[in-house]
Amino acid sequence: GWAGGFPWDAEVERARAERFGVPSFRPQQREAINACLDGRDVFVRMPTGGGKSLVYQIPALICPLVVVISPLVSLIQDQVQELIQLGIGASAVRSRDESGDTVQTVTKKMLSGELQIVYVTPEMIHQSSILQKTLRSLYEEERLKRFVIDEAHCLNLWGNEFRESYLQLKNLRTSFPNVPILACSATATEEIIQSVLKQLKMAEDSMVFLSPVDRPNLEFKVLPKSKKTVIRDIAEIIRQFPGRSGIIYCLSRQNCEDVQQELAQLQIRAEVYHAHVPPHERAAVQQRWKSGETPIIVATIAFGMGVNKRDVRFVIHHSFPKSLEGYYQEAGRAGRDGCHAVSMIFYDYEDKKRHQHMALSDGNQAPSQAEKTLQRLLQMVDYCEEVTCRRAFICSYFDCAAVAPHCSPNAAMCDRCRAAPAALQDVTLEAQGVLQFLRAARAARPRGKAPPVTLHSVKEALLGSHAQRMAPWQELPGFGALRTWTEPEVLRLLRRLVVRSVLAEEVTTPVAASANVTVAYLIEGKYGEALQLGQLRIPLYRPMA
């Protein structure tokens, strides 16, 4: 039993100290290793750099053979190298571009028992019949002791990092019913964990180990983005980290190119990395960045997964990303060495339209998925808009049950905890007035020469603007209802109502290919009725007087 210790305790200790040479286990490592050696299905969520590999590498030494399915060839190569240096029987079944010989050599070693751990890509599992045959005969001899699915959130259909090849891993349990599964991820909400467990058909009594998602050495900031100054602002930040490594994430390849050129005009040298950089060049860019030769990289989210650089001091998002999962994964690439590092988002609410437009053009999403994509986007907006502690927000997003850690009051590690405190106010009545005006404006629209109903025109109306174009709306109920508020506050309220789905923005597919001309019409959201019926209250943080 647990109390009396496990039969493998001594071996685990020896492996930790003598093979891997780490002084002690980190939280959850030992527990997860024990669950693995006990033959259970296991899910492990630990932050990047948290030490997931040990959780399956130690059991592989004690109870081989362990097959690790990992999406990234570069990461696989690094790990195999390290293991071989430690004198551990490790190898990788390489993908298509390698000669069939390699596959044959590795599978032969698997059968002869020389290997304790084998890394494969998901593609390889599906494509290589030699590998399949080998796994089958090992299975029949009961020598296949565990499948490890690394980056398990890649199964998540609506995530940044969804991989088609991962879907087929759903068959592992059916094909090899007696082989326990370990799924690992650095970013998975509880919802995603449940979905992964289900998709992989993992046991009802799977053991789930969640390390705290909080990264105490990371500082979080959201900065207002103005198109005119954003490059100068970014340059300013880079200059505060002379010679230090950083990543600037952009939404598109074109953005990357633009940012790189604009930085060059300010005498800052950076390299770009995106899907259109040819593969050999990409590897070279990554290498120069890793070695510190080019400290600054301007990249799309194609960059970073599996790049193990520990001394990244800052990550900048030129536009806010489409979900908090993606954001935390990208931000988390900073400060893996445990020293202070900063993650900054340049926030412009208008970028929401771009995300919605990009989601629209990805036309093969089922409606339920499109709804989830939108929800995630709204939560990202909420993160940027909300005036409470950033790290508390992130932690409760990933871990709804846990008590979210706030920044410590004397060592605030987010911009919100450094700012003047705000007071929570009930603005339900004001929100109802907004909705009343919206309904009236939409109903009136076909008649007069009223302006298009957008977040900005509605804001003008609520402020009681005297502009000529507002004339057709002046008699509507709710016009000027927020006359005493400031413009930024009205905007904040409207955005809050969008985040809460009282209002919604309907993004039109632009006529031209350029996403800049996208128009977002303000419409009533799915909780509009609930607000009007008094079933929903709207709290809003407002600066204290």
- Residues in contact with ligand ADP by the rule CB under 6 A: 22, 25-26, 29, 46, 48-54
Instruction: Considering the complex, state which of residue 19 and residue 253 has its C-beta at the smaller distance from ligand ADP.
Output: 19
- How would you label 500-519 residue by residue, b for 16+ Cβ within 10 Å and e otherwise? bbbbbbebeebeeeebeebe
First to last CA, the chain: 60
Instruction: Considering the complex, state which of residue 117 and residue 272 has its C-beta at the smaller distance from ligand ADP.
Output: 117
Tokens of 102: 């390699």
Instruction: Considering the complex, state which of residue 29 and residue 518 has its C-beta at the smaller distance from ligand ADP.
Output: 29
Instruction: Considering the complex, state which of residue 52 and residue 94 has its C-beta at the smaller distance from ligand ADP.
Output: 52
CB of 12 to ligand ADP, least distance (A): 12
Instruction: Considering the complex, state which of residue 46 and residue 463 has its C-beta at the smaller distance from ligand ADP.
Output: 46
Contact 107, 134 (CB under 8 A): yes
Q: Tally Cβ neighbours within 10 Å of residue 375.
A: 14
Strands 503-507 and 520-524, by their bridges, are: antiparallel
Q: Which residue has the tokens 């399956």?
A: 56
CB of 62 to ligand ADP, least distance (A): 17
CB of 57 to ligand ADP, least distance (A): 8
DSSP letters, 377-400, are: HHHHHHHHH--S-HHHHHHHHH-T
d(Cα 77, Cα 94) in Å, to the nearest integer?
9
| Nearest alpha-carbon partner for 20 in 29, 7, 28, 31 | 29
CA dihedral 136, 138, 141, 144 (to 10 degrees): -110
Tokens of 234: 């970014």
CB of 54 to ligand ADP, least distance (A): 5
CB of 310 to ligand ADP, least distance (A): 8
Instruction: Considering the complex, state which of residue 42 and residue 259 has its C-beta at the smaller distance from ligand ADP.
Output: 42
Q: Tally Cβ neighbours within 10 Å of residue 170.
A: 13
DSSP state of 143: -
DSSP letters, 485-532, are: S-HHHHHHHHHHHHHTTSEEEEEPPPSSS-GGG--EEEEE-TTHHHHH
Whether residue 223 has a cis bond before it, omega within 30° of 0:
no
CB of 25 to ligand ADP, least distance (A): 5
* Helices and strands in the chain, H and E counts: 22, 17
Instruction: Considering the complex, state which of residue 34 and residue 53 has its C-beta at the smaller distance from ligand ADP.
Output: 53
Instruction: Considering the complex, state which of residue 48 and residue 465 has its C-beta at the smaller distance from ligand ADP.
Output: 48
| Nearest alpha-carbon partner for 395 in 211, 540, 539 | 211
CB of 183 to ligand ADP, least distance (A): 13
Instruction: Considering the complex, state which of residue 23 and residue 177 has its C-beta at the smaller distance from ligand ADP.
Output: 23
Q: Which residue has the tokens 């943080």?
A: 541
d(Cα 216, Cα 197) in Å, to the nearest integer?
29
- 122 in helix, strand or coil? helix
CB of 215 to ligand ADP, least distance (A): 12
| Nearest alpha-carbon partner for 486 in 423, 439, 415, 543 | 543
Instruction: Considering the complex, state which of residue 121 and residue 457 has its C-beta at the smaller distance from ligand ADP.
Output: 121
- Maximal C-alpha separation, the chain: 85
CB of 26 to ligand ADP, least distance (A): 4
DSSP state of 339: S
Tokens of 427: 């603005």
Q: Which residue is nearest to ligand ADP (CB)?
A: 51
CB of 78 to ligand ADP, least distance (A): 9
Instruction: Considering the complex, state which of residue 51 and residue 246 has its C-beta at the smaller distance from ligand ADP.
Output: 51
Instruction: Considering the complex, state which of residue 257 and residue 337 has its C-beta at the smaller distance from ligand ADP.
Output: 337
CB of 541 to ligand ADP, least distance (A): 35
CB of 174 to ligand ADP, least distance (A): 28
Helices (H), 63-127: 73-85, 100-112, 122-127
